[in-house]
Each structure stands twice: as structure tokens, then as C-alpha cells.
Amino acid sequence: MPDLTGHVALITGAARGQGRSHALALAEAGADIIAVDLCRDVATAPYPLATRAELDAVVKEVESLGRRVIAAECDVRDSAGLAEVVSRGVAEFGHIDILVANAGIWALGRLWEITEEQWQEMLDINLTGVWRTVKAVVPTMIEQKRGSIVLTSSVNGFEAGAGMTHYVAAKHGVLGLMRNAAIELGPYNIRCNAVCPGIVDTKMNDWQGAYDMMAGGPGGTPQDRRDNAYGWSALAGRGLLDPATVSRSVVFLASDDARDITGVALPVDGGHAVLPGSNPNPIREL
């Protein structure tokens, strides 16, 4: 494992799921942690988001690894709030070396049926929220002439996903943002890369609408979700991915082991990206 002793990492969406896993993996590698999460629900996400109690539990877990940690309840839609979190982090730790912009929501809806509010909230959190987070952290990294940024996109950052146009558009956008950040921040010795997870075992896809989608119709079950996930991977025995597998790539990209890597979109997907595609809805006659 890379050695991140003396580094400070800010992670959004850190209260649970992949963000929690990234915070713990970065702490295990030696980094102090700034853990950011909204800790309340949003109107258009059809499942509950993380709670304050979950964020507090992550604080305890990081501390038990012997690392220092700041927890902040903050919405990635709130630029002023993000700037405050960054100021607090720099005041406490002196610097921020790593940013993992991971916070996000998922929702379903056909493109001609989703509302303005559903479209806007998705883009506001999953794309503009990532830009706002990068914007808040970059000035301190520019001052330091050092930094590593990892953005969370998805396999939906480079492929379609039926019935989730707003999510797909946002995740494609994250890759554009990552590539431009890589060229604009390179002159300041700041790297920017993205991870593109396949289907990961988190609460984001553990609710009735997700079961139905995986079952191909109403009445889906948690077992349908688990079974369907095997079809997402080219590798034997890989269904729902463990968040820790994404964290290992995040730690690598964040560390000096990846010192010459920037502008890369790294799939962590069990080979999903190379599976042959097929039309999920073939119609023989109009």
C-alpha cells in the first residue's frame, strides 16, 4: 500500500458506501481525513441518503486507525459551505493534498418523462457539485504546487444506461471536467484522474426501483439485484463489487505511486467496459 503519512485528504460523500471506504483506506495508508457529507435526503433521490450518525461513525473508525479527522455536514451544492470546510481543514491541518470528489445520487426515469427538478438536481449534485468541490480545494493546492484529485465517475461516464439519462449525462460530464482539470492544473503539479466503478454494493442501488430495474420489471427482489450484478462483469465470481476494490484504485491514484498519471479515466468494473453490448430493447417492427 502507498504511504500517505503526512498527507491530508478531503472526501465528499464520506458518511457511507464508497466514500466511507475511501476515507478508511486513505487513513489506513496514513492520511488525515476531512470527511464531508450532506447527511440528509434530497427531493429527487428515491432512496434515503446518509445520516449524521453514519458520518460520526466514520469519524470514530478513522480515529481508531490513529489518524486525525474533521467531519463536516456540507452540501456539494453550497460553494460557500465548501469554502468554509476547506478553510477549516487548512487551519487545522495546514494543507490539503488529496481530494476525492465522490458524493453523488442516482435516480431513474426516461428522458422524456423526468422533470426539470429531477434533471437539475442530478446535474447540480453529480456534475456541478464535483466542479464546486474542485474549485474550493484547488487554490490551496495551487499555493502548495502539489495535489492529487480523484473524481468519481462511473461506467456510465462512457456508456449509456437505459432510463437514467440525467445520471449518464452527469457522469460523462465528470470525465470532461477531469480531463480539463488535468491540463489546467498540470502546470501547478496537480494531477486529476477519475475512477469509473461498475456496479458497487452500496445503498445507492439497494432499493425497490433498483430491484425492479435489475429484474427487468416490477416485483424485483434483493436476490435479483445480486444475480443481475454477475452479468456486469467479465471476471469469474464477480457480482456486486466491494467498495474497497474502488478504494484501492483511489489510494493508488492519490499517491505518489501515480505521480506521472493524470487525465486518466480508470474503470474499476470487473471488465464491464469490454463486454460486448447488445440492444436491451430490440423492436422488430415499427
Give the active site residues: 167
Report 241-280 residues binding ligand NAD (CB under 6 A).
none
Contact 186, 193 (CB under 8 A): no
Residue 49 interacts with ligand NAD (CB under 6 A)?
yes
Residue 204 beta carbon to ligand NAD: minimum distance, rounded to whole angstroms: 3
For position 18 contacting ligand NAD by CB under 6 A, the verdict is yes
CA 83, chain centre distance (Å): 20
Closest to 253 measured CA to CA, from 37, 9, 84, 32: 9
Q: Containing H/E element for 196?
A: strand 190-197
Position among 33, 82, 185, 200 found at the interface with ligand NAD (CB under 6 A): 200
Candidate segments 88-96, 97-105, 176-184, 251-259, binder of ligand NAD by CB under 6 A:
97-105
User: What end-to-end distance do the CA atoms of the chain give, in Å?
Assistant: 56
Number of neighbouring beta carbons within 10 Å of residue 79: 16
- C-beta of 40 vs 259, nearer to ligand NAD: 40
How far apart, in whole angstroms, are the C-alpha atoms of residue 57 and residue 5? 22
Query: For the window 58-77, what string marks contact with ligand NAD as x by the rule CB under 6 A?
Result: -----------------xxx
Task: Summarize as ranges the residues that interact with ligand NAD (CB under 6 A).
Answer: 12-13, 15-19, 37-38, 49-50, 75-77, 102-106, 125, 129, 152, 154, 197, 199-200, 202-205
